[in-house]
Structure 1
Amino acid sequence: MSEVWLAGGAVLAGFVGLVWSADRFVAGSAAFAHNFGVAKLTIGLTIVSLGTSAPEIAVAISAALEAAGDMAIGNAIGSNIANIGLVLAVTALIAPLPIQRHLLTQEMPILLVVTLIAGIMLYDAKLGRWEGIVLLAVLFPLMYYLVKVKQRGLSDTEQMEESEDIPEMTNVAAVLWFAAGLVLLIISSNVLVWGAETLALSFGVSTLVIGLTVVAVGTSLPELAASAISALKGHHDIALGNIIGSNIFNLLAVMAMPGIIAPAAMEAAVFFRDFAAMALITLLLALAIAGALWLAGRSQLGRARLGRSVGAALLIGYISYYIVLFNP
C-alpha cells in the first residue's frame, strides 16, 4: 500500500512539475524567438500553441523510452477526448462560446483529416516507425500553412489576441528559463510515467487505460483551468481554436513519439473503442459548429455560439465513454 501512495504522490508531483515547467519552457522559447525578430503572431501560432501539448509530448517520449508506448498513445487519444468532452464542455457550460467561421473552413477540416490519417495508421493496432515519422512530418508544413493563412485572415485586433501572451525578457533570462523548463519537463515526465506505471500494476489495469484516463485528464488540466478562467472573465473568443489546435498537435506530435522511439503492438480496443470514441466526439463538435453557424445565418441574430446544451451533450458523451471504458 505504501508503494501505491508513493506512486500517487509521484503522479501528482509529475503533473505539477509538467504544468510549471511547460509554462517556463514556452515562455523562454517565445521570448528568445521574439528577441530575434520573429513576429509575435507567428510565435503565438507555433511555439505557444505547441506549448499546450508540451506535457503530453514529454510524457509520450518518457513512456516510449520506458517501453510503455501504449500509455503514450492512450495519452494522445485520451487528451483529445478530454479536451472536447471535458474542457470544451465545461467551458461552454460556464459561458456560450462564440464561433468564428474560419473554424469551419480552416481548423476543423484539418483536424478531421488528421484524425482520419491517425485512424488509418491505428487500424491494425500497430504504430510503426515510418508511420510515426509520417505523422511528425505532416506537422511542419501544416504549421507553415496555418501561420500563412492566419497572417492573411486575422484582423489587427485578433492578431493581438493571438499573441498577447508572448513575454518580454532578456536573452539571458530567456535561455535560462528555456533550459530550466526543459530539464524539469524531462524530470517531471519521468516521475509521472513511473507513478502511472506503478499504479497500473498495483490496480491490475493496463498502462493504456492509465494513459487514457489519469494521464490524459491530468495533462488536460492546464487547458481546463485556462479555458474556465477565461470564460468566467469573458475572454473566451479563441477557446475553440485553442482546443482544436491542441488536438491536431496531439495526433501529429504526441502520438508520433512512441511510433518513432519504440514501435509496438497495441490492444485492438485502441482503434475500435478509443479511437472510435475520439473520432465520434470530434465529428460531433464539427457538426455542432456547422449547425450553430447555419442557425445564426438563418436567424440573423448575431454571432454563432456553442451554447450550454452543446456543452451538456459533449459532457454526457465524455461520461458515457468512461462507462464503456470501465465496463467492457
Structure 2
Amino acid sequence: MLLATLAIIAGFVLLIWSAERFVEGAAVSAHYAGMPPLLIGMLVVGFGTSLPEILVSTMAAFDGNSALALGNALGSNIVNITLILGVTALIAPIAVHSTIVRTELPILLAITLVIGVMLWNFTISFYEALLLIAGFLLLIGWTVWRGMRTKEDILAIEMDAELTQQTLSLKKAIMWLVIGLALLVVSSRILVWGAVEIAQQLGVSDLIIGLTIVALGTSLPELAASIIAARKGEHDIAVGNVVGSNIFNSLAVIGIAGAIEPIRDITEEVFWRDWMVMLAVTVLLLLVSMRFGKTREINRAEGGLLFICYVSYTCLLIYAAR
C-alpha cells in the first residue's frame, strides 16, 4: 500500500511538471513555426493539457483496466467544470467573450449526449470507439479551418500576448517538447500502476478510482493553467482550456481506450450517476456562460455553485464506495 501511494504521489507530481513543460515547448515551437495564436490556444494548449488523461487512459486500457479509463474521462470532465472553473471564478470572475468558445460549448453538450446514447446499453464497442475518434479528427479539421478564417478573436489576442512573453529559444522549446512528452508517458505508467494497486487492496472498483483520484490528478494541469490565466485577466484561455479539454476527453480519451479494449460490463451507476452529473454540469456551464445568446460573466456566486457541485459529487462517490 505504501509503495502504491508513493507511486501515485510521484506520478502526479511528475505528470503535472512534464505536462507544463510539454505545453510550453509545444506552444513556443508552434509560434516559431508561424501557427496562428488562436490555433495554438485551442489545439496545442487544449490538447496538451488533456495529454495526462489520454496517456493514463491509454495505459489503463492496455492493462485491461478499461473501467479506469472511462472513469478518468467522465470524472475529469466533471472536475474540469465544477472544481476548475468553480475555483477559478471564486478567485476572479470569468468574462467569456470568445466566439470560438461560444461555438464550442453547444458542441460539447452535443458530444455529451452522444456519449450518453453509447452508454445506454452499458457497453462502448470497438466501432463506437472508432466513431468517437473519427469525430475527434473531424472536429480538429473543422477547428483548424474555422481558426484560419477567424482574424480577430479575444482568445487569439490573449494567446498572442501570452506567447510574446515567452523567452524560450526554438532549440530549448523543442527540447522541452520531447522531454515533456517522454516524462508524461513514464509518469502516466507509474500513476496507473499505483491507482490499480490501491483499488485492488481496498476492494474499490477501478471505476471509482478513475472518477476520483485519477480524474483529479490528471485535471491538475488544467486547474493550474486556468487559475494563472484568470489572474492575468486572460478569461477566455481559462474557459477555452476547460471546454477544449472536455471535448478531447469525451472523443479522444474514451475513443482511444475503447479502440484498444472495448469497454464492457459498465454498471448502471455509470449512466444514471456519472453521465447524468456530467450532462447536468455541462448544461449548467452553458447557462452561466451565455444568456439570451450573448456571452456574460461567470461570477463568484456561480463559481461557488460549481464548487458545491464538485464537493457534493465527491461525497456521493465516497458514500457509494463504502
Give the TM-score normalised by the residue count of structure 2. 0.89
Counterpart CA distance in 1 for 2:54 and 2:44 is: 13
Is it true that 1:8 corresponds to 2:12 in the alignment? no
Letter in 2 for 1:322: T
Residues 92 and 113 of structure 1: is their aligned pair in 2 closer, same or farther, counting only changes over 3 Å?
A: same
- CA contact 2:78–2:277 (8 Å) conserved in 1: yes
Report what 1:300 is aligned to: none
Is it true that 1:51 corresponds to 2:51 in the alignment? no
Alpha-carbon distance, 1:191 to partner: 0.2
Residues 148 and 264 of structure 1: is their aligned pair in 2 closer, same or farther, counting only changes over 3 Å?
A: closer
Q: How does 1:30-179 map to 2 (within 5 A)?
A: 30-100=27-97, 102=99, 105-153=102-150, 155=152, 158-166=155-163, 172-179=171-178
Deviation string 1:65-116 (CA, Å, 9 cap, x unpaired) is 1111111111111011001110101111112111226367411111011111
Counterpart CA distance in 2 for 1:268 and 1:114 is: 20
Report what 2:248 is aligned to: 249
Counterpart CA distance in 2 for 1:160 and 1:99 is: 14
Report what 1:218 is aligned to: 217
Letter in 1 for 2:138: P
Residues 156 and 289 of structure 1: is their aligned pair in 2 closer, same or farther, counting only changes over 3 Å?
A: closer
Deviation string 1:30-58 (CA, Å, 9 cap, x unpaired) is 44444444334333321221001011111
Report what 2:277 is aligned to: 277
Give the length in aligned residue pairs: 317
Alpha-carbon distance, 1:206 to partner: 0.5
Alpha-carbon distance, 1:231 to partner: 2.9
Counterpart CA distance in 1 for 2:156 and 2:37 is: 9
Counterpart CA distance in 1 for 2:216 and 2:75 is: 7
Residues 158 and 72 of structure 1: is their aligned pair in 2 closer, same or farther, counting only changes over 3 Å?
A: closer
- CA contact 2:61–2:69 (8 Å) conserved in 1: yes
Counterpart CA distance in 1 for 2:233 and 2:32 is: 31
Counterpart CA distance in 1 for 2:23 and 2:193 is: 25
Alpha-carbon distance, 1:135 to partner: 0.7
Is it true that 1:289 corresponds to 2:289 in the alignment? yes
Deviation string 1:178-201 (CA, Å, 9 cap, x unpaired) is 332222111111100000011111
Letter in 1 for 2:278: M
Deviation string 1:168-220 (CA, Å, 9 cap, x unpaired) is 75665444333322221111111000000111112211110000000101111
- CA contact 1:104–1:290 (8 Å) conserved in 2: no
Residues 15 and 154 of structure 1: is their aligned pair in 2 closer, same or farther, counting only changes over 3 Å?
A: farther
- CA contact 1:104–1:286 (8 Å) conserved in 2: no
Give the TM-score normalised by the residue count of structure 1. 0.88
Aligned-residue CA RMSD (Å): 2.3
Counterpart CA distance in 1 for 2:70 and 2:262 is: 11
- CA contact 1:111–1:244 (8 Å) conserved in 2: yes
- CA contact 2:98–2:153 (8 Å) conserved in 1: no
Residues 65 and 273 of structure 1: is their aligned pair in 2 closer, same or farther, counting only changes over 3 Å?
A: same
Alpha-carbon distance, 1:129 to partner: 1.4
Letter in 2 for 1:146: T
Report what 1:324 is aligned to: 316
- CA contact 1:91–1:231 (8 Å) conserved in 2: yes
Moved more, 97-106 or 258-267: 97-106
Letter in 2 for 1:94: I
Gaps of 5+ in 1: 298-302
Moved more, 128-137 or 162-171: 162-171
- CA contact 1:135–1:252 (8 Å) conserved in 2: yes
Deviation string 1:17-38 (CA, Å, 9 cap, x unpaired) is 1122223333444444444443
